[in-house]
Amino acid sequence: MGSVTRAVFGELPSGGGTVEKFRLQSDLLRVDIISWGCTITAIEVKDRQGRASDVVLGFADLEGYLQKQPYFGAVVGRVANRIAKGTFKVDGKEYCLALNKEPNSLHGGVRGFDKVLWTPRVLSNGVQFSRVSPDGEEGYPGELKVWVTYTLDGGELVVNYRAQASQATPVNLTNHSYFNLAGQGSPNIYDHEVTIEADTYLPVDETLIPTGEVAPVQGTAFDLRKPVELGKHLQDFHLNGFDHNFCLKGSKEKHFCARVRHAASGRVLEVYTTQPGVQFYTGNFLDGTLKGKSGAVYPKHSGFCLETQNWPDAVNQPHFPPVLLRPGEEYDHTTWFKFSVA
């Protein structure tokens, strides 16, 4: 059986409230999550020798998370990923968002779901966070009630996202954890072996907005259906890294998404999800300027993200999976992060 403990993590400036940390522990995993942005701050996983290492990038204290930083461990929303030119229409009405990643809107805007304090509720094997995103927050229509639930089951961390809207609005929620299975602070992820269960992917323009084409991976650098060693693969294809949406099975049921293996430690991460896509990102924008946990620095390619989600810019691309949530409907998606040793 697992345990859940809670402690104060820090105080927000100018009376903004108390950020708490929740520790979920099983015989195989230890996961720390804070109420600021529902952020995963640590995941401790044993290697084949039984030595535990923290495999997610992040900070030791609240100040680290409050500085400008690339969404380490956080839940992002109301709409994860990019919306072209920060505009979209719902039922004929145009909405304009902040262009916080010129010339587009990224991860919910200037103060997205990652930059707010959530209300926690402790469960027997996890923690549920909730908040109400008010009508018009960051330019989005309607009030949105949101619940994010983390539960631990042996070696599996389960993340469930639920939302209900008072008005039709796009919703796309994900977790933006950066993993390094050699242990956070390791210089790169080149020795990780990656598999992604996707026959197609979305090519992007120079601002990382999908062109609209749904392209077969066959015969391209994006064919990750059989395991590839990341460093060698990037070299062979002269790639700067990945920051692309891979298209998964269209089913709402749990399906296999990706597997990452670190041969030296034996650690394996498998990802399953109900979502139609996954953004595979290899930390291309990390530049070594941030000081992480235990004095770690995070240079380019020192962590990877597998952001299970709807396809980017779906609100502007009618042939992408539907992203609008209407009153009376419920947004309900789950992602499973399964850790093991091989």
Classify residue 115 by its DSSP letter.
G
Task: Please give the biggest Cα pair distance in the chain.
Answer: 59
Q: Is the dihedral of CA 183, 188, 191, 192 positive or negative?
A: positive
Q: What is the spatial distance between Cα 279 and Cα 304, in angstroms, rounded to a whole number?
A: 10
User: Has 270 been annotated as catalytic?
Assistant: no
Strand-pair category, 119-123 with 126-133: antiparallel
Strands (E), 70-187: 75-76, 82-83, 87-90, 93-96, 105-106, 119-123, 126-133, 144-153, 156-165, 169-170, 174-175
Place of tokens 């077969």: 216
307 is catalytic: yes
**Selected catalytic residue, list 20, 44, 270, 307:** 307
Per the residue annotation, which of 107, 137, 138, 176 is the catalytic one? 176
What tokens does 273 get? 């999800």
Contact call for residues 332 and 198 (beta carbons, < 8 A): no
For residue 243, say whether it is annotated as part of any ligand binding site.
yes
Does 23 carry a binding-site annotation?
Answer: no
Give the neighbor-by-neighbor strand order of the sheet with 228-229.
Answer: 119-123, 126-133, 144-153, 156-165, 331-341, 267-273, 255-262, 192-196, 228-229
Residue 142 near residue 166, CB atoms below 8 Å: yes
CA-based torsion, 249, 74, 134, 136: positive or negative:
negative
**Selection from 26, 34, 45 nearest residue 8 by Cα:** 34
Annotated ligand binding at 160? The verdict is no
CB 301 within 8 A of CB 282: yes
82 marked ligand binding residue: yes
Which residues define the annotated binding site? 81-82, 176-178, 243
Which residues are the active-site residues?
A: 176, 307
Residues contributing to the annotated binding site for beta-D-galactose: 81-82, 176-178, 243
